[in-house]
Amino acid sequence: MSDRLSHPIFEKSMKKTHTILIPSMLEFHMQLFESVLIQDGYKVEVLKNYGPSVVEEGLKHVHNDTCVPALLVIGQFIDALKHRDDVDKVVLIITQTGGGCRASNYLPLLRKALKKAGFGFVPVLSLNGSSLEKESSFKLSLSLIRKLVAAIIYGDELMYLYNKTRSYEKNKGDAHNLAKSWFKNLSGQFEKKKGLSFKDIKKNLYQIAESFDKLELDLSEEKPKVGIVGEIYVKYSSLGNNHLEEFLVSQGAEVNVPGLLGFVFYYLHNMVFDYKFYKIGKLKSKICSFLIKFMEKYERVMIDAVSKTKFEPMQKFSHTLTLSEGFLSHATKMGEGWLLTAEMIELVQTGYENIVCTQPFGCLPNHICGKGVMKKIKEVYPDANIVAIDYDPSATKVNQENRIKLMLEIARENIEKRKNQEKEENLAKKQAATTISE
């Protein structure tokens, strides 16, 4: 316990003795983050405890008005601590974007809940770029940032290609096994201090794309293409969204979840906008502009690697950035802000006109940038078939899934309508050609 503060802090020496517990989210990326941090000398563990006890602990230790992401993350931590016998040798880490919404208060909220549950002695770290509680912030060196960016790029490409193939594989489990073999391969490279230089990343990204391109697929049936957007935790965490991706695939859909790199770009661009709009943070804005350029270099390689395959590559973020114009200002940056709107438009434009917008119940920023713009998106893109689903411990899974099934029904009807229209158009063309030749 520090003299100055009323809560325990993470001391440098704990790097060797304490295990950092990370809440689960983004299955693909977290495995890679875990490997990168271990390679950097940390002891790390991504939590895998799911189930009703997590929700129960969350509801017991935070007010039920609290945002669902906080409730679940805190519930998962407390549930995990209750089942460990090394609680005096663990540290908890949470990510915070800062800004005006309740995410900035997650740290004190977590500490309060820990005290209430009898774990007030456990130090908490915050991963944020907004100078929130500097003494509790996880320090990121330039070299670690570079490695984490590499892990994000690998995670994004693997997640994208996995989703592109898993609904069409001829041999069940092929896509999953391939992704698993890449995690093993990349972790092995990280252990040998490889796989993190630009040259290695480029080589790996091309090989990953090529390996997924070789998977045997059955592309004979047109499946509804569904995009998932929303608040970052419920969008990416199967604990938060009741295993939404699995459910959609089980219903015969192809899924597209926008990558994490987009969120990082969004975060960095917001700092640039802060200076542009309000003249706040000139230095931060310059650093962020530099980081944007740095990451664009990696993004280019990933897109290029995927474009060498039969799969449509992802869009550049510099394009995504422009899509919310005319819908929302770039000054709308609480929660997922303008990114949520831009991602929905990008999905519709790239053929994923069916969208599940995941909303933590009571999340004001996402209700504005998600639900609030749906009417306008549907006016501009009449084919858009968007459903907003609230995620809340009191919301029933059956109800959520029934609403998604309804959206999928409309998606299937739209496929049929399009096919019939194409048939009619082809027939009309043939008849016109016959008439001319006669």
Q: How far apart are CA 123 and CA 18, in angstroms?
A: 10
Residue 19: name the closest of 32, 38, 6 by CA: 38
Cα 4 to chain center, whole Å? 37
Smallest gap from residue 232 Cβ to ligand SF4 (A):
8
In our burial notation (b when 16+ CB lie closer than 10 A, e otherwise), range 251-269 reads bebbbbbbbbbbbbbbbbb
Answer for which of 8, 23, 58, 69 binds ligand SF4 (CB under 6 A) is: 69
Residues 181-210 close enough to bind ligand SF4 by CB under 6 A: none
Work out how close the CB of 365 gets to ligand SF4 at its nearest, in angstroms, rounded to a whole number: 5
Cα separation, 271 vs 282, in Å, equals 9
231 is a contact residue toward ligand SF4 (CB under 6 A): yes
229 binds ligand SF4 (CB under 6 A): no
Pick between residue 99 and residue 195 the one whose CB is nearest to ligand SF4. Answer: 99
Taking the C-alpha atoms of residue 137 and residue 8, their distance in angstroms, rounded to an integer, is 13
CA distance 161 to 167: 11
* Pair 386, 355: CB distance under 8 Å: yes
27 close to 131: Cβ distance less than 8 angstroms: no
Q: Counting contacts by CB under 6 A, is residue 335 touching ligand SF4?
A: yes
According to the binding rule CB under 6 A, does residue 235 interact with ligand SF4?
no
CB of 39 closer than 8 Å to CB of 190? yes
Query: What whole-number distance in Å separates Cα of residue 413 and Cα of residue 43?
Result: 51
Distance CA 330, CA 322 (A): 9
Stretch that binds ligand SF4, among 4-12, 135-143, 360-368, 381-389 (CB under 6 A): 360-368
Q: Report in angstroms how near the CB of residue 116 gets to ligand SF4 at its nearest.
A: 20
Nearer to ligand SF4, 14 or 271 (CB): 271
Tokens of 43: 């002891």
Q: Is 339 in the site for ligand SF4 (CB under 6 A)?
A: no
* Alpha helices (runs of H) in 97-139, residue ranges in sequence order: 106-116
The Cα–Cα gap between 380 and 207 comes to 39
Is 70 or 150 the residue whose CB approaches ligand SF4 more closely?
Answer: 70
Sequential DSSP letters for 26-59: -HHHHHHHHHHHHHTT-EEEE----SHHHHHHHH
Does position 61 interact with ligand SF4 (CB under 6 A)? The reply is no
Asked if 102 touches ligand SF4 (CB under 6 A), the answer is yes
Cα dist from 410 to 216, 223, 415, 416, 417, whole Å = 29, 12, 9, 10, 10
Q: Which is nearer to ligand SF4, 109 or 208 (CB)?
A: 109
By beta-carbon proximity to ligand SF4, the closer residue of 103 and 255 is 103
Q: CB nearer to ligand SF4: give 123 or 370.
A: 370
Q: Do 75 and 57 meet the contact criterion of CB atoms below 8 Å apart?
A: yes
Backbone phi and psi for residue 87, each to the nearest 5 degrees, phi listed first: -60, -20
Nearest distance, CB of residue 336 and ligand SF4, angstroms:
7
Q: Of residues 58, 75, 240, 365, which one binds ligand SF4 by CB under 6 A?
A: 365
> Closest CB to ligand SF4 among 133 and 299?
133
DSSP-assigned beta bridge partners for residue 22 = 46
Stretch binding ligand SF4 (CB under 6 A), from 6-14, 135-143, 198-206, 362-370: 362-370
Q: How far is the CB of 119 from ligand SF4 (least distance, A)?
A: 22
Q: Which is nearer to ligand SF4, 164 or 235 (CB)?
A: 235
Identify which of residues 181 and 329 has a Cβ nearer to ligand SF4 in the complex: 329
Among 20, 30, 78, 101, binds ligand SF4 (CB under 6 A): 101
258 binding ligand SF4? (CB under 6 A): no
Query: Position 232: which residue type?
Result: I
Residue whose CB is less far from ligand SF4, 228 or 363: 363
Q: Is 367 in the site for ligand SF4 (CB under 6 A)?
A: no
What span, in angstroms and rounded, lies between the C-alpha atoms of 219 and 254?
Answer: 11
Q: For residues 257 and 306, which CB has a smaller minimum distance to ligand SF4 in the complex?
A: 257
Stretch that binds ligand SF4, among 214-222, 235-243, 340-348, 361-369 (CB under 6 A): 361-369
Interface with ligand SF4 includes 129 (CB under 6 A)? no
Size of the site for ligand SF4 (CB under 6 A): 12
Q: How far is the CB of 69 from ligand SF4 (least distance, A)?
A: 5
The reply to whether 240 sits near ligand SF4 by the rule CB under 6 A is no
Q: Which residue has the tokens 């906008």?
A: 273
Which segments within 248-337 are labelled E, that is strand? 254-256
The nearer residue to ligand SF4, 154 or 233, going by C-beta atoms, is 233
User: Does the footprint of ligand SF4 cover residue 328 (CB under 6 A)?
Assistant: no
- Site of interaction with ligand SF4 (CB under 6 A): 67, 69, 101-103, 231, 335, 360, 363-366
